[in-house]
């Protein structure tokens, strides 16, 4: 019975399953990186730009670092960037959105603020932040997250505005239910589904944005591997040492693909209408 249930789930939601499986695989690699790969930081310059071999499965980069080890460890930071950005954006965005949607006075001020942030091109904002505050994983995460917040805020606010008018919420309100409880009990749950979907897209685009920032010289510090900065710092070697760019490039594409598949699947399953409108 359980087996046929699983099979049925796979048949009905192939994208969720494929995306989740791929992500699990990558996450496992990230978690068990020390067991399956060597040190991603140390190097001997004499070994630079070596092709794939028994010692270096995927060759070495321009400093002589092991591309395979960096690729595996890169999963850690790339996923960390993607997940943290999604987490920060969704958390702060939904908090602001809940408040804005519920309190009309807050709404006007906050939404103008959000419109303002949204109006500044996200990549320029991010480059400026990284350039001025220095490149660290923390700064990059914040720099990518800030421009995402307004979109989440808008989404949550829209849901809150819809839900607030529903009879059962009206009833609870007139019964004198405390605001915090009202928000938590009645309004928050309706926002969960679209938020999860939104979070997957933010995660995928954060990983890509980090690569773009690295290209522009404003990404995560090159010492610690992310797929983005591996691609960006190897772009010079596209012709002479293609392995330095293909390994992280394929990983990046795969993980963005996986997250997108998962997002699409969840969107169709959880709440088609609201998510699709966004």
Partner 1 sequence: MKTSRRKVLSAGLATAALAGIGAPYITRAQQKPPRQARMVPQGDLNVLDPIWTTQNMAAYHGAMMYDTLFGIDANFRPQPQMVGRTDISTDRKTYTFELRPGLKWHDGTAVTARDCVASLRRWQAKDGAGQHLFARVTDTPVVDEKTFRIVLSEPYGLLLDALAKTSTPLCVMMKAEIAATDPNTQITKHIGSGPFRFIESEYRPGSRVVYERNADYVPRSEPASGIAGGKRVLLDKVIWDIIPDAQTAASALMAGEVDFYELPPIDILPTLTAAPGIKVEVFNKLGSVGQVRLNHLHPPFNNLSARKAAQLAINQEDIQRAAVGNPAYYRTCGSHFACDSAMGVEDGSEVLMMKAPMAQRQARARELLKESGYDGKPIVVLHATNIHVMNQTVLVVAQQLRQVGFNVQLASSDWGGVVTRRANQNAPEQGGWNVFYTFSGGNSTASPISLFAHAATGRKAWFGWPENASIEQMRTEWALASGLEARRAVAQRLNKTMMDYVHDVKTGQWVQPHAYRGDRLRGFLPIPENIPWWNVERYA
Partner 2 sequence: MLSYIARRLLGVIPVMLVVGIFVFSLLHLAPGDPAAIIAGDNATEANVARIRASLGLDRPLLEQFGSWGWATLRGDLGVSMFSNIAVTKLVEQRIGPTVSLALTTMLVAISVAITLGILAAWKAGSLLDRAVMALAVTGFSVPVFVVGYILVYFFALQWHWLPVQGYVPLSEGLWPWLRHLVLPSIALGMAYVALIARITRASMLEVLAEDYIRTASAKGVATLPMLLRHALKNAAVPIVTVIGIGVALLMSGVVITESVFNIPGVGRLVVDAISRRDYPIIQGVMVIFAAVYVIINLAIDILYSFIDPRIRYS
List residues near partner 2 by CB under 8 A. Answer: 112-113, 115-125, 127-129, 131-133, 204, 208, 211-212, 215-218, 228, 231-232, 235, 238-239, 245, 249, 252-254, 256-257, 260-261, 264, 276-277
Among 17, 117, 131, 257, binds partner 1 (CB under 8 A): 131
Residue pair 217/277 in contact by the 8 Å Cβ criterion: no
Looking at the Cβ atoms of 91 and 137, the one nearer to partner 1 is: 137
Q: Which of 194, 195, 191 is nearest to 160 (CA)?
A: 191
Q: Which of residues 218-257 bind partner 1 (CB under 8 A)?
A: 218, 221-223, 233, 235-240
Structure tokens at 163: 């839900």
DSSP code at position 64: S
How far is Cα 45 from Cα 61, in angstroms, rounded to an integer? 10
Round to whole Å and give the CA distance between 62 and 269: 45
Min CB(64)–partner 1 separation in Å: 7
Beta-carbon-side half-sphere exposure of residue 164 (alpha carbons within 13 Å)? 16
Mark 147-186 with x for binding to partner 1 (rule: CB under 8 A) and - for no binding: ----------------------------------------
Q: What is the nearest approach in angstroms of partner 2 to the Cβ of residue 133?
A: 6
Nearest 5°: CA angle at 51, between 49 and 57?
115
| Residue 193 to residue 266: CA distance in whole angstroms | 8
Q: What is the rounded radius of gyration, in angstroms, for the C-alpha atoms of the chain?
A: 22
Our CB check for partner 2 shows the closer of 38 and 210 to be 210
Give the binding-site size for partner 1 (rule: CB under 8 A): 29
Please identify, among the stretches 46-54, 94-102, 145-153, 165-173, the one whose residues bind partner 1 according to the rule CB under 8 A: 46-54
Q: Which of partner 1, partner 2, none does residue 260 bind to, with CB < 5 to 8 Å depending on kind?
A: partner 2
Rounded Cα distance, 135 and 228, in Å: 14
Interface with partner 1, residue 46, by CB under 8 A: yes
Binding partner at 180 among partner 2, partner 1, none, C-beta below 5 to 8 Å by kind: none
């Amino acid at each position: 019975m359980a087996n046929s249930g699983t099979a049925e789930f796979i048949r009905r939601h192939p994208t969720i399953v494929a995306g989740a499986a791929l992500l699990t695989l990558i996450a496992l690699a990230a978690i068990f990186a020390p067991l399956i790969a060597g040190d991603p930081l140390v190097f001997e310059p004499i070994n630079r730009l070596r092709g794939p071999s028994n010692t270096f499965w995927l060759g070495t980069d321009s400093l002589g670092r092991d591309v395979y080890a960096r690729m595996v460890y890169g999963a850690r930071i790339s996923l960390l960037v993607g997940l943290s950005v999604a987490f920060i954006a969704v958390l702060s965005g939904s908090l602001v959105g809940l408040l804005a949607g519920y309190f009309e006075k807050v709404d006007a001020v906050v939404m103008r603020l959000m419109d303002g942030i949204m109006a500044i091109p996200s990549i320029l904002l991010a480059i400026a932040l990284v350039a001025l505050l220095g490149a660290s994983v923390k700064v990059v995460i914040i720099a990518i997250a800030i421009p995402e917040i307004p979109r989440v805020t808008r989404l949550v606010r829209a849901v809150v505005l819809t839900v607030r008018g529903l009879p059962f919420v009206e009833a609870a309100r007139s019964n004198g239910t405390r605001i915090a409880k009202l928000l938590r009990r009645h309004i928050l749950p309706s926002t969960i589904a679209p938020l999860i979907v939104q979070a997957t897209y933010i995660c995928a685009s954060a990983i890509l944005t980090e690569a773009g920032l690295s290209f522009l010289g404003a990404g995560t510090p090159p010492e610690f591997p992310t797929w983005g900065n591996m691609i960006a710092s190897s772009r010079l070697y596209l012709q002479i040492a293609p392995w330095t760019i293909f390994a992280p490039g394929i990983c990046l594409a795969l993980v963005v693909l996986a997250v997108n598949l998962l997002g699409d699947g969840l969107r169709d399953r959880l709440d088609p209408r609201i998510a699709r409108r966004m």
